[in-house]
Amino acid sequence: MKKKFQKALQPGQTWFYLLFLLFAAGGLYFSLWYGAAGIAVCGILRLASLRQESERKRQVQDLMENIEVSGGEIKPAVTHSPLPTVVALATTGEIVWANEAFAEISGQFSGARHMRMTELAPTFETRWLIEGKEEFPGELRMGRRAYHVFGSMIPSGAGQMMMLYFIDCTEYVRLRDAAETRHPALAIIAIDNYEELMKNATDSEKSAILADIDRRLSEWTRDSSAVLRKYDRDKYIFIIENAELDKLAARKFAVLQEVRDIRNHEGVLATLSIGIGRDGETLAESYQYAGLAIDMALSRGGDQAVIKNRYTFEFYGGLSEEVEKRTKVKSRVVANALSQLIRDSSQVLVMGHKNSDMDAIGAAAGMVCAARVKGKPVHIVVDQQHTMASDLIERLESLPEYKDVFISAEDAMIMCDFNTLLIVVDVNRPGYVESEALLQSINKVAVIDHHRRAADYIENAVVSLHEPYASSASELVSELLQYLVPNNDILTGEAEAMLAGIYLDTKGYSTRTGVRTFEAAAYLRRAGAEVSDVKRLFQSSFDQYMERQKIISSARNCGQGVIFALTDQEIDRIAAAQAADELLSIIGTRASVVAFRSGVDMAVSARASGQVNVQLLMERLGGGGNHSAAGAQLKNTTPEEADRMITEAIHGYFADQESEAQ
Ligand SMILES: Nc1ncnc2c1ncn2[C@@H]1O[C@H](COP(=O)(O)O[C@H]2[C@@H](O)[C@H](n3cnc4c(N)ncnc43)O[C@@H]2COP(=O)(O)O)[C@@H](O)[C@H]1O
Ligand SMILES: [Mn+2]
């Protein structure tokens, strides 16, 4: 209604002139002259507009009559063509000419003229024509039917025109959609903690737990036409049609919560991981996607569902804390493979993440030790202007073995050859490594990391040790070193660097520690690391202490046990991380979030304990990290925008968690 009214009052429309005339006639009452002049102006304008309109019609007519194919006029052919055809103004989409076939499909025989294309087909747009393409992307819905639309631009005296042809594809779209909804997706379901659940259980308890999991899985799929089969003691294969899968996804894979209610006599909860592959060209490809998805679910800590399609991963769940589930066999196998790789390479480069910290540098020092003992030239690639480990780097640089070991990414690019081995530590996302260009230039890459995976991770690594249950990259490297070098070949400075990495990520052995963490620490202690020397690396400067206190004083309680502090000041990343750590120690706090300015961006550090997963919270802001420590970088964002975005992310996270729990 509003649109019609606006259109009626546009210049060129009869109503516009009638209204004008009414006002001018009203003027007669006040002054004969002004009234008469008004009526005359209105008449002149109307005449001019009629002339313009008829000129435009003539030009369009000319245009239609002058379109020729092989020298023959096609106007009658186009007019009577069974192919619905339209000529419309490119600027407004106003239809200036339509043939009989278009009038039939649009149901607007004479009325189609002067209507806009979007009035007939709301999703119509012209970007494809402007970009020089000949086909509208996807299908255009008009009424209850779907069309493939082809077209081109035609310059004319009446302005830029577009000529559009419509081919009915309703039946094709119906068949394709039906095939897509019935297309099978494949899933692998794994009991995450089978060993732990069954440990010390009697035979009857084991059977009861497994029967309970089987029953809950069957009930979950009962109303669908899915097929569920157990193929190993702790694994199931699951085949389901896409439409049914969408329903399970909409209910956030409720079986994850259902199974979490099962516990053994020691109180260990059962958790599942579900890896789903969909949209593969073949069943085999969907199965391959399912394999990647289950690996992804497990490497993010389990207790979640991951869907992998042709383009991306989607994540559901993952709220519980990860449970340690590692074997030393993997470390030994990786150590052997790394040893071989180092021996076969011309040189070794080691690289951590951007804004490297003591864990990244400590782990890198461990790898330098392995390469040095094997007699290979080795360097650590680091941006010394942007590091949180400058004191540690300085200490290492004072050792004769570390003279010229630290180099910039630019120098590394010049230095590397086709037989260089690049070892990436403490990071698995390509966009977060110290130098993405270097990562892309080297084809022999090994990855050693303890962070949960996000949708993008370094693919095609020749060797990968990825353990989200480990406290730190330094813990993993210490474990590898036990198989790679004799104990007395490790320099005290290297052992202390790795111990500093463990100390950092466990916050002085208070979080994320497992038996293996202490074993690694004991090994480093035997290699000569002094705990008091390590602790000295963590002393804050007076400025850092004051910055930390300043940000803590801006904290506010967001409810749900979340404390949020934001400052528009540019502060040291370490001070922000420490503030987030400290806020978490307030009684009743389940998560802390600290945001601060970093150039034109806003940086975020988040920490959590227990049930809150700050990795999922930070992923809402494009960041990542681990269950209990995560971060994000909000590009080109003001403090006010960051405040709004973070608050929304916190509310969104808890709203999702509540809907999942229902
Ligand atoms: N933009 C991002 N995208 C993806 N992931 C990100 C992003 N920003 C951060 N992350 C990940 O989040 C966690 C936590 O990062 P953080 O900066 O909050 O904390 C790290 C260090 O800043 C902090 N740290 C360094 N030195 C000290 C110190 N002397 N005292 C206290 N704290 C310190 O420790 C955190 C180390 O994290 P790690 O790299 O995971 O070991 C992190 O995973 C980022 O990768
Ligand atoms: Mn790190």
Q: Is the pLDDT of residue 73 over 50?
A: no
Classify domain 81-174 at the CATH superfamily level: PAS domain (3.30.450.20)
Q: Is 359 labelled as part of a ligand binding site?
A: yes
Q: Is 432 in the pocket of ligand 1 (CB under 6 A)?
A: yes
Least confident of 159-163, 306-310, 548-552: 159-163
**Mean pLDDT of the region 418-435:** 96
In the prediction, which pLDDT does 374 show? 96
Classify domain 329-536 at the CATH superfamily level: inorganic pyrophosphatase (n-terminal core) (3.90.1640.10)
CATH of 196-317, one of 3.40.1190.20, 3.30.70.270, 3.40.50.720, 3.40.50.1480: 3.30.70.270
More confident call, 485 vs 68: 485
In the prediction, which pLDDT does 68 show? 44
Q: Is 246 labelled as part of a ligand binding site?
A: no
Q: Is the pLDDT of residue 56 over 70?
A: no
Q: Is the pLDDT of residue 71 over 80?
A: no
Q: Is the pLDDT of residue 6 over 60?
A: no
pLDDT tens profile 246-260: 999 998 899 998 998
Cα of 450 vs centre of ligand 2, distance in Å, is 9
Confidence band of 661 (pLDDT split at 50, 70, 90) = low
Placement of tokens 């990825």 in the chain: 466
Q: Is 627 labelled as part of a ligand binding site?
A: no
Q: Is 359 in the pocket of ligand 1 (CB under 6 A)?
A: yes
Q: Is the pLDDT of residue 69 over 60?
A: no
Confidence band of 435 (pLDDT split at 50, 70, 90) = very high
Q: Is the pLDDT of residue 7 over 70?
A: no
> Distance between CA atoms of 323 and 267, rounded to whole angstroms?
13
In the prediction, which pLDDT does 74 show? 46
Q: Are 253 and 305 in contact (CB under 8 A)?
A: yes
Amino acid type, 104: E
In the prediction, which pLDDT does 44 show? 85
Report the share of the chain in percent with pLDDT over 70: 91
Q: Is the pLDDT of residue 161 over 90?
A: no
Eight-class DSSP state of 487: G
Confidence band of 70 (pLDDT split at 50, 70, 90) = very low
Q: Is 543 labelled as part of a ligand binding site?
A: no
Report the greatest alpha carbon distance in the chain.
112
- C-alpha closest to that of 503 among 478, 521, 479: 521
Cα of 501 vs centre of ligand 2, distance in Å, is 8
For residue 194, give Cα distances in angstroms to 190, 328, 421.
Answer: 9, 18, 37
- To test the ligand 1 pocket, which listed residue (605, 626, 635) has its Cβ within 8 A of the most ligand atoms? 605
Q: Is the pLDDT of residue 72 over 80?
A: no
CATH code: domain 542-661 is 3.10.310.30
Q: Are 333 and 340 in contact (CB under 8 A)?
A: no
> Distance between CA atoms of 66 and 163, rounded to whole angstroms?
14
Q: Is 114 labelled as part of a ligand binding site?
A: no
More confident call, 157 vs 280: 280
How many Cα atoms sit within 13 Å of 339 on the Cβ side?
13
- To test the ligand 1 pocket, which listed residue (356, 386, 502, 504) has its Cβ within 8 A of the most ligand atoms? 504
Cα of 630 vs centre of ligand 1, distance in Å, is 7
Report the share of the chain in percent with pLDDT over 90: 57
Predicted ipTM of the assembly: 0.92
- C-alpha closest to that of 445 among 483, 416, 469: 416
Q: Is the pLDDT of residue 11 over 60?
A: no
Q: Angle 278-427-517 (CA atoms, 0-180°, nearest 5)?
A: 110
Which residue puts its alpha carbon closest to atom 18 of ligand 1?
A: 605
- The pTM (predicted TM-score) of the whole model is 0.64
**Mean pLDDT of the region 467-473:** 90
pLDDT tens profile 213-240: 999 999 998 888 899 999 999 999 999 9
pLDDT tens profile 506-538: 989 888 888 899 999 999 999 999 999 999 999
Q: Is 84 in the pocket of ligand 1 (CB under 6 A)?
A: no
Cα of 449 vs centre of ligand 2, distance in Å, is 9
Nearest ligand 1 atom to the CA of 429 is: 4
